[in-house]
Copies of this chain bind each other. A is one copy, B any other.
């Protein structure tokens, strides 16, 4: 496969910017600068694919290029299946991904169907063509550690030791996010090559040769009160076990190994390469080793919690796997979402993001200025932009992530669209979000864990969310299964609107950017959360609450 990059600039090959915007986002997901394995069509997240296979990818590109302004393209788990005549304001693309009838919703059955070419796993933003590289995850991670600091340490991680692991595509946001919040990070990854790669790309500051060295350096920085991130080659189970046996209590402990997918989680004692060999040759023995490692890994986290550390599951289904491996009290530590993200969701605040289809970083810097002047009082927003502009280079199409709330999104969207109209921006902007948003996800081990009213597993909301966005003028809408936690454990929806400067786009943006987060506020109000209940009383709240 040749190298894929999104087209940039003002010339388009599709019949309007609505389609062109989606085409650029799709191709951008396969840009080697941001995609994990573009040759396998994998954008990120283990095996999150943007299309079923190469033929499907080609057929999608072709269909988008020929799609009329009143047609809609249907994508079934990464494969285009039809183009239908719809309405001008209807989505140009609708998707359903990795959905199985519930009784059959498990990895084993999924893999069988995948082998037959009948489905594909899209994770969240890979399947919906809204992956923009690690900045999205960086912001989410920064936001989480910011909340940890706020809740437990008076607003900063200064002088605090955070132990975590996994330097994968998402995990590697941790060291940056921890140091941006003032802390000292020790991050273990079993893959030496990955640790080196993160050092070279400045995602970590230092690579330690041993755990002893890492602890020594960490101590120095803690003493100085300065932030630093230390990468270390090691298996999480061994590293965390070492802390327990040596009675060292970090301030915060979490983890981003790919525990949601046991085929990617590396058992103790093996290098990644050895692990893959063994998995092929002796799958049963391999599985046993994985479960034993998970058991030790989770056991150590439970003990670190008992020793006094702030411990949380960082959305990789680790506790459930630990429970299966025999740790009965695996759920004694909370998930990050219910603990740190829920208060944000109650305000409809979530991982809003936008992409400069021009390819020009200047377009993003101009939008940064708008944000800064628009939301002057929001110091977290200022801190974030400050940090990310300084520390983060654009990869693929320039993009920005900011957690905006239910009011801010449409205000901002309107200005962006006007800037496209007036030519202040060189080309249209794609406005999208992660699937991990207030109304967009049902995931009882993550985003909807421990809901006040027990509605963790109710999956009506993400489905209503997609139907609503579909009715509101989104350019792309989809419903998916399994993002973050694997097949069987979540249902979520994605949405994108192209701000192309037209009046039509202005209407699409106005409806979607209000409805999408407002439904989130309603969902949390319905579940009994006070902040959300207050917000829906606001006479300017953009939906009528009728229950």
Contacts and interface: CB of A to CB of B under 8 A. Distances in A.
A483 to B, nearest CB: 12
Given A83-B544, A86-B471, A543-B84, A489 B458 contact: no
A515 interface: yes
A454 interface: yes
Q: Is the interface of A mostly helix, strand, loop or mixed?
A: mixed
A87 B471 contact: yes
Interface stretch (A12-20, A102-110, A273-281, A401-409): A102-110
Interface in A501-519: 507, 511, 514-515, 518-519
Interface string A518-530: 1100110010000
List of 5 A-B pairs having minimum Cβ-Cβ separation, nearest first = A102-B105, A102-B102, A104-B457, A96-B460, A90-B471
Q: Give the number of copies in the complex.
A: 2
Contact of A464 (B85, B96, B101, B490): B96
13 contacts: A76-B464, A81-B523, A86-B511, A87-B471, A87-B511, A90-B471, A101-B459, A102-B487, A102-B488, A103-B105, A113-B458, A116-B453, A470-B470
A455 B76 CA distance: 12
A87 B473 contact: yes
A75 to B, nearest CB: 8
A544 B73 CA distance: 9
Contact of A467 (B62, B118, B473, B477): B477
Contacts of A103: 102, 105, 444, 457, 488-489
Interface string A61-98: 01100000000111011011111111101110011111
A545 interface: yes
Nearest to A62: B546
A436 interface: no
A84 B513 CA distance: 12
A82 B545 contact: yes
A455 B84 contact: no
Interface residues of A, number: 84
A518 to B, nearest CB: 7
A50 interface: no
Given A101-B457, A116-B453, A118-B454, A472 B526 contact: no
Contacts of A470: 467, 470-471
Given A102-B488, A116-B454, A76 B460 contact: yes
Nearest to A78: B460
A80 B547 contact: yes
